Structure 1
Amino acid sequence: MTHQAEFGPDLAEVFGPSHQVRHDSGGPELVQLLTPEGERVEHPEFSFDLDDEAVRGFYRDMVLTRRIDTEATALQRHGELGIWAQLLGQEAAQIGAGRAMRTQDFAFPTYREHGVAWCKGVDPLNLLGLFRGVDQGGWDPNDNNFGLYTIVIGAQTLHATGYAMGMQRDGAVGTGDPERDSAVIAHFGDGASSQGDVNEAFIFAASYNAPVVFFCQNNQWAISEPIERQTRIPLYQRALGFGFPGLRVDGNDVLATYAVTKAALDRARDGQGPTFVEAYTYRMGAHTTTDDPTRYRLSDDVEHWKLKDPIARVEVYLKRNGLADDDFFAGVQQEAAELGAHLREGCKALPDPTPLQGFEHVYAEMTEELAAQRDGYADYLASFEGEGH
């Protein structure tokens, strides 16, 4: 037996003749349950076990999440936000993963998980506060089991792994009690997979069999860096090198994303350890509102992926099978319009922070040292009163 056969496939099977990895989304390894044409298909290992009402709910979630994204982008263009991280085209990946969670599961997001935040009950107006610069994330993670947005690329995967290890030590994994058994999901992008923090999180999660799902939204662009420059093999195959399974799911298929993430979370809660889920999708918008994607990618690629729009395929499925009428779709659009108004009015009404607010929420309970610093700074500010400033 040769070393090639012993340790893996022939390199020619993995790499093309020019040593470029095949990153196409097709092939038997892709889990898909709803085609871009809106047709349900079967998969030998995964199935969607919810009813038609749930599918309508997923459609509503995606439409409203896209409206959040659209309104926030417009607010930034009007100078109301300093920046905004767009998610256009990634709605199915986020809603499928978000709805697969149980109440006790904890999500650790990047700065783009607006759809997951929606699923976890975070008021989207709180998301705008961070990008407006009036707070550092205006929600309590303990209220929704949804962590604060992480700006440092990939750092949240270490947070997630540590939290998952804590769940193990609290006896909240593998007990057989569905109300108690818990898991963690860490969201990150293909660019973050190149970070050391992410790979360290993989090592610790595998070593301690931590109940964590690493959910990678492979939107194929790390800002302006294409996926081909980041990896020589499909991302989901990296997991095997760390000792846990990896899966690739059609990230524009909300049914498949839900089914795969649910299975991975169930596995984690049962005490079977981590799973890597690669949601193969595409960032149809810009990386952030400071980015100009026309400088580094082809418009033909964007047009190609528009045909795989995650919302359009569910809409076609619902209409074709008579599962939703015109009143339903009109109602969702009306709700989206009301949500947009809530965001526009609420964003402009967000109060500016006071200097002393920087001392709040540093610790769960303020320390004596921090209180002394706050009081000293308050005295300093008070010294300017009456001077016409």
Structure 2
Amino acid sequence: MGAEHLPASEFDIEELEQSLVTGDPAAAPPLVQLMAPDGSVREDAKYGPFAAHLDGDALRAMYRDMALVRRFDQEATALQRQGQLLLWPPLLGQEAAQIGSGSALKPQDYVFPTYREHGVALTRGLELSKVLRLFRGVSNGGWDPRENNFHLYTLVLAAQSLHAVGYAMGVQRDGDDAVTVAYFGDGASSEGDVHESMVFAASNQSPVVFFCQNNHWAISVPTEVQSRIPLSNRASGYGFPGIRVDGNDVVAVHAVTRWALERARSGKGPVLIEAFTYRMSAHTTADDPTKYREAVEEEKWRERDPLLRLERYLRSTNTAGQDFFDQVTVEADKLAASTRADVLAMEAPDFEDHFANVYGDPHPLVQEELEWHRQYQAGFAEDNAGRAEGEAR
């Protein structure tokens, strides 16, 4: 052993470990909350100023957006149950996390969603019925992402986190004044793509905000099984801040997101936001949550309903009266009716179009498969003609 090394007896492993620990990694950080479940307002010296601009008009607009997207979600669920959609991922209970964060974005910011960010889509100005084109099976996307800086839904878990960081690295090099936001759930946070994304984002100090909606259930697996520490605490391992915010408090979510966006925009690098919320309905319409969670748990969270919370505040402060809530209900029902009409009017494109969208130029293998498909389809026509002839006899 060289002289520069200490003898093993003089090397205190425990002391070294203690020097690397800045606190208990399993300890939950303070939950940022500006509006309690009963509608009362709380002071917060750090994040409160980032919500100071929210006047009565802004708060009413937030309530309206949450109510509209909830009604849209209900209609989409009904359409799926009636066989008009192939599948649907509800967002019931997560409206504040999405409207609060989406409303903090600037037009030049770019969003990379999962498949449940219907509320964020609304804040970006996307016509909501376009979201249903994917779930109707008439489109592989449904909209042009460039029109609203809102990317197509990503059904591959956590893949959008890589896309968000790559886009942010490009923005960084172009010198644009924009931030990307990667939305994902607590279940997706266990995917390797999220880890890789955070490594690259931290290494490059990229302008990206990781927004995790911790709705407590990755389909049937609870968060505590996925992680031994609060999800927001993971950020410190990559070298950037992690914040845990009450995801059912639309004001707090807006404030925290605005803080994170401005931090990233100023060149200080990424932030992880854990919006602590709850999925009140099924993971998708193919899921049965009664198989893995108790009704008492759902009831406990029902009292924390994000719409009910803001309504209590608006009523108690005379910021909105019954006329306002009645008007929102009428508008929401109109949205549901127009959504249903749009879905029922959607027509599937010619199946042969799919073969034309594989390569920019004709490809012999694709042409061969197209010809096979035509012969396959012709076989059905022959069978139907023979069946009709037999019935005529």
Same structural fold, with TM-score higher than 0.5 when normalized by the shorter chain: yes
User: Alignment partner of 1:182: what SS?
Assistant: coil
Partner Cα distance (2:257, 2:343) in 1: 33
- Return closer, same or farther for 1:242/1:347 CA change in 2, 3 Å cut-off: same
Aligned to 1:74: 78
Shift of 1:14: 5.6
Question: Is the contact made by 2:241 and 2:271 (CA closer than 8 Å) also made in structure 1?
Answer: yes
State whether structure 2 residue 23 is matched by structure 1 residue 7: no
SS at match of 1:152: coil
TM-fit CA distance, 1:359: 4.8
For residue 110 of structure 1, what is the aligned residue in structure 2?
114
Structure 1 position 33 matched with structure 2 position 34: yes
SS in 2 for 1:276: strand
Q: Look up the SS of the partner of 1:300 in the other structure.
A: helix
User: Is the counterpart of residue 194 in structure 1 residue 207 in structure 2?
Assistant: no
1:307 aligns with 303
Q: Matched residues in 2 for 1:121 and 1:144: separation?
A: 7
**Amino acid across the alignment from 2:360:** T
1:241 and 1:343 map into 2 onto residues whose CA distance is: 44
Aligned to 1:62: 66
2:35–2:249 Cα contact (<8 Å) kept: yes
Q: Deviations over 1:115-135 (max 9, x none)?
A: 001111111111111111111
Displacement of 1:355 in angstroms is 1.4
* Residue aligning to 1:176: none
1:296: Cα distance to partner?
Answer: 0.6
CA distance in 2, matches of 1:303, 1:380: 51
| Larger Rg, first or second structure (1 or 2) | 2
1:248 aligns with 2:241: no
Name the Cα RMSD after superposition. 2.3
Unaligned 5+ segments in structure 2 are 1-13, 385-393
Conserved in 1, the CA contact under 8 Å of 2:25 and 2:233? no
2:67 partner SS: helix
Counterpart-to-counterpart distance in 2, 1:306 and 1:349: 35
Q: In the TM superposition, what is the alpha-carbon distance from 1:144 to its structure 2 partner?
A: 0.6
How many residue pairs get aligned? The number is: 366
Distance 2:212 2:218 in 1: 12
Question: Which letter does structure 1 place at the counterpart of 2:20?
Answer: F
- Mark the CA change 1:35 to 1:380 in structure 2 (over 3 Å): closer, same or farther: closer
- What is the Cα deviation at residue 9 of structure 1? 5.6
Q: 1:318 to 1:370 in 2, by over 3 A?
A: farther
1:45 is matched with which residue?
Answer: 46
1:376 Cα deviation after fit = 8.7
CA contact (8 A) 2:355 2:370 kept: no
**Deviation by residue 1:68-103 (Cα, 9 ceiling, x = unmatched):** 110011111111111100111000000011101000
Find the aligned partners of 1:353 and 1:218 in 2 and give their Cα distance: 37
CA distance in 1, matches of 2:364, 2:321: 59
1:26-175 superposed matches below 5 A: 29-47=30-48, 48-49=51-52, 50-172=54-176
TM-score, normalised via structure 1 length: 0.89
Q: Which 4+ runs in 1 deviate beyond 4 A? A: 359-362, 370-376, 378-385
> The residue matched to 1:186 in structure 2 has which SS?
strand
Q: Secondary structure at the match of 1:216?
A: strand
Structure-2 change in CA distance of 1:295 and 1:207 (3 Å): same
Structure 1, unaligned runs of 5 or more: 16-21, 173-180
CA contact (8 A) 1:356 1:378 kept: no
The partner residue of 2:289 within 293, 303, 312 is 293
- Secondary structure of 1:118's counterpart equals helix
CA separation of 1:67/1:370 partners in 2, compared to 1, >3 Å: closer, same or farther? farther
Shift of 1:374: 6.7
Tell me the TM-score normalised to structure 2 length: 0.88
Q: Does 1:358 align with 2:354?
A: yes
Residue equivalent to 1:177: none
Deviates more, 1:376-385 or 1:103-112: 376-385
Larger fraction in helix: 2
> Which residue of structure 2 lines up, in the alignment, with residue 175 of structure 1?
none
Letter in 1 for 2:74: T
